[in-house]
A and B are shown apart, each in its own frame.
Chain A
Amino acid sequence: MISIKKISKEFREGIRGKRVKALEDLDLEITKGEVFGFLGPNGAGKSTAIKILLNLIYPDKGNASIMDKDVADKEVRRYVGYLPENPYFYDYLTAEELLWFGGKTSGLNKQKLHERSEFLLNKVNLYHAKKRPLRTYSKGMVQRAGLALALVHDPEVVILDEPMSGLDPIGRKMVGDLILELKSQGKTVFFSSHILTDIERFCDRVGIIIDGRLRLVDNLTHILSDGGNLEDVFLREVKTAGGGIET
């Protein structure tokens, strides 16, 4: 479903163009119907990998494809729903108009668009605020509106960048329920987080990324089978990665 092959990416920073490695030889395969958790400390390269999948940035080396189509093909995004990290939308647009835009550009017809829009606005609990401009929304409300936008065209693949950040416990539960629901519908979900409990609760498989390198990819059940928990595994990986750099 999602396939990332040998992707490397460098950024130039500052005026002098100092090179900073964001991703190095990233290899990842995610199969249909899987909920994949992308785990890593801040600045590890999670968002970079996701943005490459959305064609927002281009890899220096390697290639990425979704449903066997290269991500450079814009048609790919007809089947992909994306929630950016700390999403920000047009200030003066209402949630209803936001979903209208998402549906229209994804080719939904009028009736289907209306249906999906009403359904999702209810789902993310924004129905009462659907005619208010987004600038009057709280951070959590914007996050929920973004989630509705990501799902409005009923995508096969859902990519969520830190979907839980900025949400209160009720909101987190709502997002969690949504992910489980998507899973039950056979959708593929790829989401990143640095919150271990979220990953533990919803994921089938986990990838741990540190300093742009994928350290571990495994089934969650397998990781937890020898009695440990995700936190221990994660901290161990961070430690070995850090130790590797020091020596």
Chain B
Amino acid sequence: MRTLWPIAFITFKEGVRNRAIYGISIFALLLLGANLLISNMFMQEVGKVAVDMALSTVSFAGLLLVLFVGINLMAKDLDKRTIYMVLSRPISRPQYIVGKFFGMVVLLLVTLLFLSTFAIISIQLVKMSAPTYFARFSWSLVFLSLFFATIGLVLLTAQSFLFSSFTSTSFITLVLTVVSYIIGQSLSDVKTLIENSQIVGIKISPVTVKVIQVAYYVFPNLSLFDIKTQAAHGLSLSVSYIFWIVLYGFIYTCLAIAFAALVFRKKEFP
């Protein structure tokens, strides 16, 4: 821990002073401001739209943060060889990965906390202007949704770390992470579809079914963390759901980081 903390700290500092993070935050704040205007254009489900907009904005800003700040922080270390300054210290490569990851997670948490605050304010403002449309509204679900979105983003960060441990350029890492995100968001839907293909009336080869089923366990299942619909409509969520999802996020994150550490041990920095 004594060695991890300084790495996490300089990673956080480097990230938080990066211009990109301000750009993303300003963009998100604008969207949250727009939430007030857009929600009022709807006639019926104002509450749903307001919550949808606010939660989606935070998720999207977080995604941009992971893709452009997170990957960049890691990639710059490798591209510009700033990693020398870390590895020439009594720090092993796995420690470097874990420390760097912690730094990025802290950065993510701080930014999301900041944006979430504004998201909540924007929901509250809409709620005050149109209280009748918030009949089924629940704050705890909004908080839970933000929490879940954070776990999903932490997981995606871990995934991007894994990719950057074996790719040579940040661009490939970026592409792989985006692909992984898209697959992760649609995987469970696709799995449902292929497993019920006869009912829907489409033919799918057994090979495809197997591939999808394997992919289901290999790729991060990001759609599990998306409870925006539940939050928007105030639907109930069981405690066991929360438990298993959080556990899944935790285990997958550890797995990705452990893998990254394993790959990184062999990496050379000429």
Residues in A lying within 8 Å of B, measured CB to CB: 11, 48, 51, 54-58, 74-78, 80, 82, 84, 87-93, 97-98, 100-102, 104-107, 133, 146, 149-150
Contacts and interface: CB of A to CB of B under 8 A. Distances in A.
Interface in B83-97: 84-92, 95
Contacts of B90: 74-78, 105-107
A55 B269 CA distance: 9
B13 A97 contact: yes
A192 to B, nearest CB: 15
Interface of B: 2-3, 5-7, 9-10, 13-14, 17-18, 80-82, 84-92, 95, 268-270
A77 B82 contact: no
The 10 closest A-B pairs by CB, nearest first: A92-B17, A82-B88, A105-B89, A57-B268, A104-B6, A90-B14, A84-B84, A78-B90, A56-B269, A77-B90
Contacts of B5: 104
A74 B91 contact: yes
A97 B10 contact: yes
Contacts of B10: 90, 93, 97, 101
Contacts of B9: 101
Contact of A105 (B3, B18, B81, B84): B3
Contacts of B86: 105
B-side binding surface: helix, strand, loop or mixed? loop
A75 B89 CA distance: 9
**A76, A80, A91 — most chain B CB neighbours (10 Å):** A91
Contacts of B88: 54, 56, 77, 80, 82, 84, 150
A55 B88 CA distance: 8
Given A74-B91, A77-B88, A149-B85, A133 B6 contact: no
B103 to A, nearest CB: 11
A54 B87 CA distance: 8
B199 to A, nearest CB: 48
Most A CB within 10 A of own CB, among B6, B82, B85:
B85
A97 B10 CA distance: 8
Nearest to B73: A90
A102 B17 contact: no
Contacts of A146: 85
A11 B270 contact: yes
Contacts of B87: 54-56
B169 to A, nearest CB: 13
A14 to B, nearest CB: 12
Given A57-B270, A133-B17, 6 more contacts: A76-B90, A84-B88, A88-B80, A91-B14, A102-B85, A104-B6
Contacts of B80: 88
Contacts of A98: 85
10 contacts: A58-B268, A76-B90, A84-B85, A88-B82, A90-B82, A91-B14, A92-B13, A98-B85, A105-B86, A106-B90
Contacts of A82: 84, 88
Contacts of B91: 74, 77, 105
Contacts of B3: 105
Contacts of A11: 270
A89 B13 contact: no
Most interface-central of A82, A92, A102 (chain B CB within 10 A): A92
A80 B87 CA distance: 12
B104 to A, nearest CB: 14
A84 B81 contact: yes
A48 B85 CA distance: 16
Nearest to B4: A105
A54 B269 CA distance: 10
B270 A93 contact: no
A146 B3 CA distance: 20
A153 to B, nearest CB: 8
Contact of A92 (B2, B14, B89, B95): B14
Nearest to A81: B88
A54 B91 CA distance: 11
A56 B268 contact: yes
Given A92-B13, A105-B90, A51 B269 contact: yes
A91 B7 CA distance: 15
A41 to B, nearest CB: 18
Contacts of A100: 6
B270 A87 contact: no
A186 B88 CA distance: 22
Contacts of B6: 100-101, 104-105
A107 B2 contact: yes
